[in-house]
Amino acid sequence: MWVLAWNFQAEATYYHRQTVHHEHSANMENLLPENLLPENLLPEVVPEVLPEVSQPVNSRTFYGIMFDAGSTGTRIHIYKFIQKDPVELPVLVNEMYHAVKPGLSAYKDKPEEGGNTIRALLKVAKKTVPEHEWKQTPVVLKATAGLRLLPEEKANALLDEVREVFGESPFFVQNNSVSIMNGTNEGMPFCWYVTNISLILFYTRKTVGILDLGGGSTQITFLPKSKKTVFTAPASYIANINMFNNTLQLYTHSYLGNGLVAARLATLGALGADVFTSSCLPKKFREDWTFGGITYKVSGIPDGYAGYKLCYYEVMRVVKGIVHQPFEIKGSSIFYAFSYYFDRAVESGLIDGSRGGIVEVRDFKKRAKEVCNKMTKYRPISPFLCMDMTYITCLLKEGFGFKDNTVLQLAKKVNNVETSWALGATFDHFHNLNIH
């Protein structure tokens, strides 16, 4: 079990400068204070992983349930905490994680069926949380890009259905327990903080950036080293994150419509044709493909050319000029990459699925070329693998502007806890409830 003693308090406030200054002086290029977290933000860390946590007689156990309603699936995180002493911070001792597909947005015309997927996951929660803890265990659902891409009335119908399901459950439900997450950052400050606290600070106080690639949106968050990064970024991309009476200034943004699955639709052309064709697909491929509850007919180009170069040209239209390139992104910073970055690297054989791995951006490019030039070989894994790997390469290089030698740590979990914003958001919810 993973042990981490800390509490979380985060509130993102965004700068609203009247102008973004692209002219710069020597002062603008000055480095910000070294990107270290303040001493009082460092957790009381138990080194590495302990086999079990002893529970003092006067300690208190409590639970939190967080639903992550994404575009391609709904995930439930059930956290168990121990409060060893009233004046000490709680200890996270366990997480139960389960996921179902498709996401809630697929039920946009059948909200009752969407509600049934939540009921099924709540059964997992009832088996995990002791019955005597049900009434005081908060349950929260935060929806991300999938619901934001829907018409407002359809998204609200789904949320209302979830509220009804929550109301039937034995868990603690507040009026704001069901919501669509702020699309500006999609919880990335939470994820950034949890990642840096839970792993990096076991070894060093220096922070790392994080990249997340979902189905409907993609996110980037890091602690800037350079003042120029702050002053040349769009105003809404710089957030003040308040933690323990300290303010950290993060670069963070979520790009709605640039998630992996949404990018497929954009690459194919999305609207206006009966059949969508692409050089990124095998020539003999022709199937129905569903995203967001809508089914499309897609195919390769039967009499045309296919392969990496043509595919790269196609996906570049989805990325070039749309994704902002932070000033210091071409530096030597290390980024942790999650979700579809990890999944596609595993499927293409770039890393081992059980251990994750460290790669460079150039490795994605090299493997994308191999996959696209041997689509028949990789078709049983996924006919979209060429398109997906090429899109990831293009997003990293043409979008964010990473260099070929930028190091990426690909991970699914950090110390046995799913890497996502869910844990940080749970702590934030506890803080708002005055649960300590």
Catalytic annotation, pick one of 23, 52, 112, 186: 186
**Is residue 293 part of an annotated ligand binding site?**
no
Report how far Cα 71 is from the mean position of its chain's Cα atoms: 11
**Is residue 219 part of an annotated ligand binding site?**
yes
- What is the 3 state secondary structure string of 14-56? ECCCCCCCCCCCCCCCCECCCCECCHHHCCECCCCCCCCCCCC
Quote the radius of gyration of the chain (alpha carbons, Å).
Answer: 22
**Is residue 216 part of an annotated ligand binding site?**
yes
Which residues make Cβ contacts (< 8 Å) with residue 24, sequence separation at least 6? 228, 231, 232
**Is residue 356 part of an annotated ligand binding site?**
no
A 10 A CB-CB count for 88 gives 14
What's the rounded Cα separation, in Å, for the pair 408 and 22?
A: 29
Residue 52 annotated among the catalytic residues of the structure = no
What's the rounded Cα separation, in Å, for the pair 184 and 144?
A: 11
What's the rounded Cα separation, in Å, for the pair 257 and 149?
A: 8
Quote the tokens at residue 198: 């839970």
Q: Which of 174, 188, 3, 187 is nearest to 89 (CA)?
A: 3
Going by the annotation, the residues of the binding site are 215-219
Residues identified as active-site: 186
Going by the annotation, the residues of the binding site for ATP are 215-219
